[in-house]
Amino acid sequence: MDEQTIDQPDDEENGTAVAVERVLQLLEQGSLEIEGLMPDSSNYTFLVRVADDQLSGLAIYKPRRGERPLWDFPRGTLCQREAAAYQLSASLGWEIVPPTVLREGPEYGIGSVQLFINADPQEHYFTLRGSYDEAFKRIAAFDIIANNADRKGGHILKDPQERIWGIDHGITFHVEPKLRTVIWEYAGEPIPAPLVEDIARIGHQLEQPDDPLTVSLSRLLSRVEVDALRRRVERVQRRARYPEPTGGRSMPWPPI
Ligand SMILES: Nc1ncnc2c1ncn2[C@@H]1O[C@H](COP(=O)(O)OP(=O)(O)O)[C@@H](O)[C@H]1O
Ligand SMILES: [Mg+2]
């Protein structure tokens, strides 16, 4: 994985390729230091520096204690959903969600820690659509499966290598249908066959209680949420088509 946000002290060049396993190790075990609070966040979202003996980089720390309570999601579970979204994205092989772990953080305790993407702040879904169809078709399929209730335009980032990422997956994996997204341009179209194959593969994994994906998701989500995920995966695989919006609640507000 090419991570422009990880620096190696002995390397003059910023942007050395660091394997994803190594990034995860850094996020899990590195020391964390708070650099500041992110603007435009509805929950307490901190920019942190994460470092170990060899590597240093930036990450986004969202502590459970900083989560704003919501009427429809169980309290204190948003950080777990952030980590579960990463597990799902990684298992699909789609690399939508930046590497994310759940761990103890400085001052505010347990939370999600996600690799910071050095994105162009001028870009978001509405400036990028039309040019990155393949990436957006993956993200749209991911959001159906994850039951993403908050895919705003600003939750799409483009890094300097022109890779498209999705962030802010705190309100996902609800048991009831809650898909709310700005990406409706594929409504009614077939989901590309290679994506359906990936979906079928994880469907099979989720049927095995001792599969690593099932085990890790069961630590982060409730049993009924993992069951609901399995049912969504089955349904998406069977229909193999992007759904149509169901009304006003299908669009997040504000859209960016
Ligand atoms: N992984 C990331 N890389 C870069 N910027 C991020 C990342 N995650 C969040 N941000 C920035 O922090 C802001 C707030 O984060 P977000 O996940 O939207 O928090 P909230 O749950 O409060 O809505 C985002 O709008 C974005 O600018
Ligand atoms: Mg947000």
Residue 40 beta carbon below 6 angstroms from any ligand 1 atom: yes
Q: Across 1-159, where does the E strand assignment appear?
A: 6-7, 31-37, 46-51, 56-63, 100-105, 109-115, 156-158
Residues with CB under 5 A from ligand 2 (ion): 168
What CA–CA distance (Å, rounded) separates 66 from 54? 30
Q: What is the pLDDT of residues 129-183, one digit of tens each?
A: 999 999 999 999 999 999 999 999 999 999 999 999 999 999 999 999 999 999 9
Q: Which of 98, 103, 102, 124 is nearest to 6 (CA)?
A: 98
118 alpha carbon – ligand 1 mean position (Å)? 11
Q: What is the pLDDT of residues 208-246, one digit of tens each?
A: 999 999 999 999 999 999 999 999 999 999 999 999 999
42 alpha carbon – ligand 2 mean position (Å)? 6
Domain coordinates in residue numbering, the chain: 6-250
pTM of the full predicted structure?
0.94
Q: What is the pLDDT of residues 38-83, one digit of tens each?
A: 988 888 999 999 999 999 999 999 999 999 999 999 999 999 999 9
Contact 87, 220 (CB under 8 A): yes
What CA–CA distance (Å, rounded) separates 61 from 17? 23
- pLDDT for position 171: 98
Q: Does residue 3 surpass a pLDDT of 60?
A: no
Widest distance between CA atoms in the chain: 54
Q: Does residue 17 surpass a pLDDT of 80?
A: no
| Tokens describing residue 243 | 């759904």
Q: Which of 227, 107, 118, 96 is nearest to 167 (CA)?
A: 96
